[in-house]
Amino acid sequence: MVAFLWTPSPANSQQHVFVRYDITAGLNNNTTFCALQDKRGFIWIGTADGLNRFDGNRFKSYRYISGSGTITGPCYVWKILEHSNGTLWVGTNQGIFIFDESTETFRHIKDIPWGVVAGMTEDSSGKVWVSLYQELYICDPAGGNAIKLTGFSGRRFVDIITTENKEIWVGTETGELGKWEPEREGFTFYPVFGDVQPESVRPVIRIFEKEPGVLWVGSRQGARAFNRVTHAVTPLLAGEVLQTDLQVRDFIKINNNEFWVATKKGIYVLDTTGHITGHIKKDNASLNSLSGDDVQSIFKDREGGIWCATYYGGVSYYASANAAFQVYFPGLAEGAIRGSNITTITEDPAGNIWMAGDNGLNKFDPISRRFTGFSPFEKKRMITGLDLLGLMSDSARLWLGVFRHGIDVLDIQKEKVVQRFAAGAGMFDLKSNRIMCIYQVAGKDVIWVGTADGLFRYDKRTDRFTMPGYFPQKTPYNCIFETPDGTLWGLSDRLYYYNPKKNIHGGLQVMVNGTDILPTSINSSVIVARDGTLWLGTGNGLIHIDLQTKKARIYTDADGLPANIVSGVVEDNTGGLWLTTTGGVVLLNPQTNIITSYPQTKGLTGGQFSYVSSYKSKNGRIYIGVQGGVICINPDLLQQDKFVPPVYITGISVFNTPLAINKKEGPLKQSVLLTDAITLTHRQTPFSISFAALSYATPGGLRYEYKLEGIDKDWHLVDNSDPLVNFTGLPPGNYVFRVRSGSGRGLWQKNEKLLNITILNPFYKTDIAYGIYLLLLAGLVYWWLRSYKRHLSDKQKRNTQLYEIKKEKELYAAKTAFFTEVIHEIRTPVTLLKAPLEMAMADSRELPRTQRYLAIMEENMQRLSVLINQLLKLKGTESAQFRLQRSSVKLESLLAEIYFVFNPVIKQRRIKFHSAISEAITPFQADKEALTTIITNLLDNAVKYCDHQVIVKADYSKDKDPVLEISIASDGLKIHPEYREKIFKPFYRLKETRQVAGTGIGLALARALANAHNGSLHLESAETLNIFILKLPVCLPEVHE
């Protein structure tokens, strides 16, 4: 576990580094009162606007904790207590509530009134004691009821605790401590702040069991220790000038020798005797300081992290109590570091650390932890320029590479520049002032100077600079070093080397898949490890080069690096490699290849790490320059992280909407934290799953990977900044979602969390649907077979009907042909008989009997003549040569002529005849003879078969196109619908009308002539009437077929 601990030091170093959580991070409100870690590892924070649950990545809000969702005003959460049965008790200004983790709802303890909850504690029997400032209540978790304690002489109670030996102690508003005596069911009170004036500052705010037998008690004016055995009272916060507003609100034990005290003026650090050893306050210039001085409570989690609830600044989290890192910020105060970008670091023989940057030179004393500055503006400690890149300690002298000014040689003891080298025109002068690095060959008087224009060799014996030809020139060199075999190396766009013994030189190639990966875009730094291998930091990762085996390996983010840009490399005393990356500081163990990440170092100074600015001092400290200060790491204080955080699935969302708990209808039947299996419909995709490993010390150092069994064979890494996995388009089926976390050391932990996921088929793919499909298919086959059978039957019937129709037509044609031939044969004799009959009738006028016989013969001859003419006309309408003779017809005149013919018969039979002809009817084009035949035949049938009534009507119909409609209605035998079409067939007569003389040709002829007019003729019935309706278009074409 890694944390940050600073002891009192100059203003340029921050004593304690905190992580702040406020409303911008998801907290309900910046006014916080309390914090607690539950049995599962979640952090609960009480605020002035409800409750929050934190998993290290996300806050879950519980604003309406009354259960009904309707509360009066904001809900202040004063206290949180975890009961031994695992339930959370929440003390608010709206009462006491118990949290149901299954439904994530709250149950109200009805017997406790609203008020400020000053304290809650659980006694040895499992009952919960609640202090409401004025009153005390004892709650029974089993029954959910509470009883009020009475009989305390008007005392008002504040805090209440249960000690390790199960004693109940309360604090009063008058500065007393009360011990519960079960035998007599009452308190014994002891004065603690009774002597403090005024009385308003006496109330006991907090009681803390410092150790068995000793209670630390906080009030509105400082704190005191109370011995439970001797009842002695001693002051705490010794050394602090007590004021009336120094309200002590909470205590926490950091370790056996250190305690923190939360007050209205920040946090005081106390030793075991109660003396102040430090003061933690908000620093407005630092985002990593305590977020507010008004600290309401302090809580320590299972990893040793400290949670500080502040009144206006949200919650501040301090990672741990082990001092492993220190950070120094630039400032103007005396003893502060100068410059915001440290570029190179070295150490002199006395153990002083020298740091060069963009604002001159700094000398750091590790003992006093103070910096001494050198710049062109210092009278005593003057150097040539501010922008320093090269730095090298040569026994009593310090060589400074002053960019654009050359080299300053500083006497370390005198702190004075004693020699300068600048670019000159001489043969043995330095040829570039753009100094980038300086290196002295071990055991020799040779110094190598790397510049932006090439590499130069300086011989101290001859005081000469030369530019060797075995190194490429006109190129910048960031670093110079030497390997154990005497080979000199220069880092530029690639690694160049020169071995004076073998007299060989060249550039190093690192081949990967047939390609030289050098040069890279960034070659930041290089070191020679204790085993003689090279470690090169680049923009593409860390490259390990073994010159003996001529093998290389590349470490990238796929191997656990937080980023591929490696700006610095340094080896500690154990052989571990400290790397600075854009994602923070990491430690690589070359033996195991385990990478431990320290992401909290990324944001310590707000800047990125400088190139070639990592250095290990003689005492093993690691110094790292950043653009914003210096970080000092003591590897000896680092502890192996043995804590394995539990992994929980914290949320399931469908279409980016979190699933709500719904026992009856929803897929989420209980809290997602307790859910091991979930069933989704096919419509509930896409969906996402969020999760968290409950570690707060280094949440950014955790890694996650997941696998969805049923789809994936391999594990997939997840972005640790937002542990969330989205699934889209999963087919129906059963899956197992597995997720686990990895520590900052790169090891995957045994904390795998499983979630069984079932995605249901759509209804059309379910077993019921397939059953329906089978039934439908069977029904379809059955229907098809029946239809096919019906089709065959219908086809047979149709063929039979067609055969019958064909035979009927043939019979009709034969009958018509026969009658036509007979008519033609008969017509001539009938015509020839007509004249002799007329002559015989004329000659026998005086013979009545003969006259009667002749009249009968004439009548039958007339009928025969009419029949012959009708048959000829009917035959003529069926001929292709039939043509209507168009002329203008006045319907009223035509009907008058026809009425005249039938008038005698109508009168003879006493028929009620009625005619209604519309006056709107105008002359129209029609075949007058054919129309006369139609109406005559219809009227003849009406008169012949009626009982008493015949009605004739004529008018235009209401059809879209103008149509003349003539109806002839008569009473008598009503024709059944079955015969309404058959009567229009030639020679067809009803059995009931056969006693009346007729031929069976008239209606067939009438319809044929109506069709020839493009009209129609049909029969309808109304009550007792048979109605023949003739419809004729008003405008006729010139030729009608």
Query: CATH code at 967?
Result: 3.30.565.10
Q: Is 515 part of a structural domain of the chain?
A: no
Q: Residue 1009 in 3-state DSSP?
A: helix
Tell me the torsion sign for CA atoms 188, 190, 193, 199: positive
Q: What is the pLDDT of residue 763?
A: 86
**pLDDT digit string, tens, across residues 290-318:** 999 999 999 999 988 999 999 999 999 98
Instruction: Report which listed range, 49-63, 135-149, 368-382, 833-847, is most confident.
Output: 49-63
**Helix, coil or strand: residue 335:** coil
> Could you say which of 298, 324, 350 is where a domain stops?
324
What tokens does 719 get? Answer: 């972005």
Residue 990 pairs with which residues in a beta bridge?
none
Q: What percent of the chain has pLDDT over 90?
A: 45
Same domain, 742 and 670: yes
Tell me, yes or no, whether 258 lies in a domain.
Answer: yes
Which residues are registered as beta bridge partners of 139?
A: 128, 146
Predicted confidence band at 245 (pLDDT cuts at 50, 70, 90)? low
Average pLDDT over residues 541-559: 89
Q: Are residues 168 and 316 in the same domain?
A: yes
| Residue spans of beta strands (DSSP E) within 861-920 | 886-889, 912-917
Picking from 396-400, 404-408, 582-586, 659-663, which range would have the lowest pLDDT averaged per residue? 582-586
User: CATH number of the domain that 560 lies in?
Assistant: 2.130.10.10
User: What one-character-per-residue DSSP string does 501-568 give?
Assistant: TTTEEEE---EETTEE--S-S-EEEEEE-TTS-EEEEETTEEEEEETTTTEEEEE-GGGT-S-S-EEE
Per 3-state DSSP, what percentage of the chain is helix, strand, and coil (rounded to 5)?
20, 40, 40
- Residues 212, 87 within the same domain: yes
Q: Nearest to residue 256, comparing CAs of 221, 301, 211, 310?
A: 211
pLDDT on residue 533: 93
List the structure tokens of 803: 């055969």
* CATH code (residue 730): 2.60.40.10
* Residue 335 phi, psi dihedral angles, 5° rounding: 90, 0
Contact 1026, 974 (CB under 8 A): yes
Structure tokens at 235: 């002051």
Based on the domain organization, do 211 and 67 belong to the same domain? yes
Q: Across 53-67, 182-196, 813-827, 922-936, which has the greatest mean pLDDT?
A: 182-196
In the sheet with 168-172, reading across from the earlier edge strand, the strands are 157-162, 168-172, 176-181, 186-191
pLDDT at position 625 is 87
Domain membership of residue 295 (yes or no) is: yes
Q: Are residues 673 and 584 in the same domain?
A: no
pLDDT, one tens digit per residue, over 411-421 is: 999 999 999 99
Q: Rounded distance, CA 920 to CA 943, Å? A: 27
pLDDT tier, 722 (very low <50, low <70, confident <90, very high otherwise): confident
**In this model, does residue 322 exceed pLDDT 60?**
no
Task: Report phi then psi at 858, rounded to 5.
Answer: -65, -40
User: Is the domain of 152 the same as that of 244?
Assistant: yes
Residues 739, 716, single domain; the answer is yes
1002/661: higher pLDDT:
661
Q: Which of 637, 655, 677 is the last residue of a domain?
A: 637
Distance CA 318, CA 12 (A): 19
The pLDDT assigned to 607 comes to: 53
Over residues 532-542, the mean pLDDT reads: 90
pTM: 0.67
Asked if 850 and 890 sit in the same domain, the reply is no
Question: Six-digit token pair at 886?
Answer: 């168009």
User: Nearest 5°: phi and psi at 241?
Assistant: -75, 105
Residue that wins the pLDDT comparison between 314 and 564? 314
Q: Which pLDDT belongs to residue 859?
A: 66
pLDDT-based confidence at 888, cuts 50/70/90?
confident
Of 637, 670, 697, the last residue of a domain is 637
Q: Is residue 880 predicted with pLDDT exceeding 70?
A: no
Please indicate, yes or no, whether residues 215 and 114 belong to a single structural domain of this protein. Answer: yes
- Token pair listed for 6: 């600073």
pLDDT single digits (tens) 751-789? 999 999 999 988 888 888 889 999 999 999 999 999 999
pLDDT(50) > 50? yes
pLDDT of residue 984: 84
- Tell me whether residue 998 is in a domain: yes
**Is 360 part of any domain?**
no
How many domains is the chain partitioned into structurally?
A: 5
More confident residue, 637 or 58: 58
Q: Based on the number of CB atoms within 10 Å of its own CB, is 841 exposed (0-12), middle (13-18) or buried (19 or more)?
A: middle
In a domain, 471, yes or no: no
pLDDT tens per residue, range 247-267: 999 999 998 899 999 999 999
74, burial (CB in 10 Å: exposed 0-12, middle 13-18, buried 19+): middle
Mean of pLDDT values over 432-443:
92
More confident call, 834 vs 496: 496
In a domain, 205, yes or no: yes
Same domain, 801 and 735: no
The more confident residue out of 284 and 457 is 457
Inform me whether the pLDDT recorded for 957 exceeds 70: yes
Higher pLDDT, 975 or 253: 253
**Structural domain harbouring 788:** 767-875
CA distance 269 to 263: 11
Does residue 814 share a domain with residue 938? no
Who has greater pLDDT, 258 or 335?
258
- Could you give the percent of the chain with pLDDT greater than 70? 89
> What does DSSP assign to residue 604?
S
Q: Of 622 and 600, which is predicted with more confidence? A: 622
> Which of 245-254, 340-349, 401-410, 926-935 is the most confident on average?
401-410
Q: Clarify whether residues 548 and 592 are in a common domain.
A: yes
- Determine how many CB atoms are found less than 10 A away from the CB of residue 680: 20
400 within domain boundaries: no
* Cα–Cα distances in angstroms (integers) from residue 448 to residues 304, 401, 466, in the given order: 49, 12, 10
- Per mean pLDDT, which range of 35-44, 599-608, 610-619 is the poorest? 599-608
**Category of 93 on φ-ψ map: left (φ > 0), alpha (ψ -120 to 50) or beta:** alpha
Q: What is the pLDDT of residues 78-106, one digit of tens each?
A: 999 999 999 999 999 888 999 999 999 99
